[in-house]
Chains A and B, each alone.
Chain A
């Protein structure tokens, strides 16, 4: 929308309003709704999903590598944080490894997840399209099965019970798990995490934007459009693809670490295939390869089911006077239908980049001719 405002001044004002809205959003939500805190939690998770979607967007949207196991990297980051910042393995691990400082922890999460990305990427470089999709899916499932079963012979992941008592993040002497008084306002955990995750979102957005027009970004697009031609033009397709995997994975790992510290608890339940699929839906529904589109997609996909949750029960009571159907099922049903309808109406995504839109409609015209 902001792009349409040609007038630089109008644009500036628009940006300023948007910034203020984003900054005060958590307080608006707490003040005016009964279930205010749960809504900020929802927003926090939406921000985490934005991070994930932006990470996957690099792999799928830029490089055109269909990845259905993306949530595995989220899991790697989350479990890494959980193991290093909880009493679970504290007795076994060397002391210098326990509770590393925040920047070190985030760096580690990104690096380790990136390593897993390369691990996944290297054997699959020859594959493309749907074969790649199914292999990445298998990779995600393998990671999940290991998380679920690595409580024996050595208890690493604590199996299906998951790891709890995970510490919140400590930055510069502040514990994000406790309320902090500032300027007469009480910032609780959900607020603090809102700003923290927001900061990381902006960082990832910034990196994504810079990448888009860089040499690497253009190499990715070249591979997406025609791998053989890209190779012939002197692009090292192998390394560039691996870089896409590693980069996307490291974003996933960082958001996973934030997730674990926010939630205070991780279990394999959070990293099922459906989550990978949801993140992919965010990218595709919003508009692949287009950062604002992907963000829009992430917000819609993560928040719509929550809104439906709040709407369906009262609606049933108002219409029939009692609970007829399980609202949980109904909201997923509506959500599934919405996915179909959106794709049928806008197969190029809700907010595609100008370039992609042009490509799509060019094809349309070819088909007509």
Chain B
């Protein structure tokens, strides 16, 4: 039983991170019907900038408590990723809005290669350890353990999601975003500045992605220039699972994916008598995805989209 609970905890932690990244994918998709393949790289750069920033502070013997250092790290990483998100949209996507559908996909892949390689040039090939600045108090609940860091991750992720929902549902900006997602032309006629709304969506998504990247790095105690790829892929899977374009779907998909993955990898060894181990962890995301899409082609919470290829 305690293993079960333990895997649930782990799944919730990873799942809330997936959900946070998935929101970035799903918002962009909702408005532009575009897979922002470079989003995973934003996540990675958020983590890398934060780690570098904290290391510099520690190197200068700045005596601040860990969470404060982390906050300063965020204050550096979030603007960097926002700027990147803005630049990516402006350079690689905006000129191609009327182009054939696959063209922006290729520029997205191009951007993601460029960011990945640039990160390799700046930060090198090795894993960057996350500085040990955060208190690692271990709590025991029902035989399973969870660290205060993990609780903080879940809490922060939920708070950010709540903030995003408030922004989208209750503010003027949010209404403009929803209008643009529904029908860009009509929204434009009603006086919504489509370009600035799209820029805004990219910037918000990038900010959430950067925070999620720091969470990944803190949770696994390390970051790497290639980490954005797999985490982006998982988060995108989560977004599709929930029904891409649907914010609630992204959260549901993220949490579900995290839980399935951690339960699956925890129990697969026992179920198959040790023949298949936790090295199949990454397979669950895709198997679940395929099964869900076979029965619900638009995802769990997605609406049926009009038949346009």
Contact = CB atoms under 8 A, between A and B. Distances in A.
Nearest to B239: A134
Contact of B280 (A135, A149, A330): A149
Interface stretch (B43-51, B88-96, B176-184, B192-200): B88-96
B237 A152 contact: no
B282 A64 contact: no
Interface in A9-31: none
B294 A123 contact: yes
Nearest to B244: A130
B307 A228 contact: yes
Interface string A149-174: 10011000000000000000000000
B167 to A, nearest CB: 25
A106 B111 CA distance: 38
Which 10 A/B pairs are nearest by Cβ-Cβ distance? A336-B113, A138-B286, A347-B99, A339-B110, A347-B103, A336-B114, A340-B110, A333-B117, A153-B275, A332-B117
B107 A344 contact: yes
B290 A277 contact: no
B113 A335 contact: yes
A130 B302 CA distance: 14
Interface in B265-290: 274-277, 279-280, 282-283, 285-287, 289-290
A181 interface: no
A339 B104 CA distance: 11
Contact of A339 (B106, B244, B287): B106
A146 B276 CA distance: 10
A329 B105 CA distance: 22
A326 interface: yes
Interface stretch (A80-88, A242-250, A280-288): A280-288
B23 to A, nearest CB: 17
A84 to B, nearest CB: 24
A3 to B, nearest CB: 22
10 contacts: A130-B33, A130-B244, A137-B233, A224-B309, A284-B103, A330-B117, A333-B114, A333-B121, A336-B110, A343-B110
Contact of A332 (B91, B111, B113, B279): B113
A10 to B, nearest CB: 33
A142 interface: yes
Interface string A241-267: 000000000000000000000000000
Interface string A47-64: 000000000000010001
B189 interface: no
Contacts of A332: 113, 116-117
Contacts of B113: 332-333, 335-336, 339
Contacts of A284: 102-103, 105-106
Given A135-B289, A138-B290, A333-B121, A348 B110 contact: no
A142 B286 contact: yes
A138 B237 contact: yes
A363 interface: yes
A364 B98 contact: yes
Given A127-B293, A332-B117, A336-B114, A343 B286 contact: no
A139 B111 CA distance: 24
Contacts of A343: 96, 99, 103-104, 106-107, 110
Interface of A: 60, 64, 66, 123-124, 126-131, 133-135, 137-139, 141-142, 145-146, 148-149, 152-153, 224, 227-228, 273, 277, 280-281, 284-285, 288, 325-326, 329-330, 332-333, 335-340, 343-344, 347-348, 360, 363-364, 367
Contacts of A367: 98
B297 interface: yes
A152 B280 CA distance: 12
A139 B286 contact: yes
Contacts of A141: 233, 282-283, 286
The A interface is mostly helix, strand or loop, or mixed, namely helix
Q: Which of A64, A130, A273, A343 counts the most B-chain CB atoms under 10 A from its CB? A: A343
A127 B297 contact: yes
A20 to B, nearest CB: 34
Given A138-B237, A142-B286, 8 more contacts: A128-B307, A135-B290, A137-B233, A284-B106, A325-B121, A326-B120, A329-B120, A367-B98
Interface range for B:
35 or more
B240 interface: yes
B35 A133 contact: yes
A135 B293 contact: yes
A344 B307 contact: no
A66 B118 CA distance: 28
Contacts of B240: 130-131, 134
Contact of A336 (B96, B101, B111): B111
Contacts of B91: 340
A326 B225 CA distance: 14
A332 B118 CA distance: 9
Contact of A139 (B116, B121, B279, B290): B290
B276 A149 contact: yes
B109 interface: yes
B110 A330 contact: no
A64 B101 CA distance: 11
A148 B279 CA distance: 9
A364 B290 CA distance: 37
Contacts of B102: 60, 66, 284, 288
B95 to A, nearest CB: 5
Contact of A128 (B98, B282, B309): B309
Contacts of A131: 240, 244, 293, 297-298
B96 A333 contact: no
Nearest to A130: B35
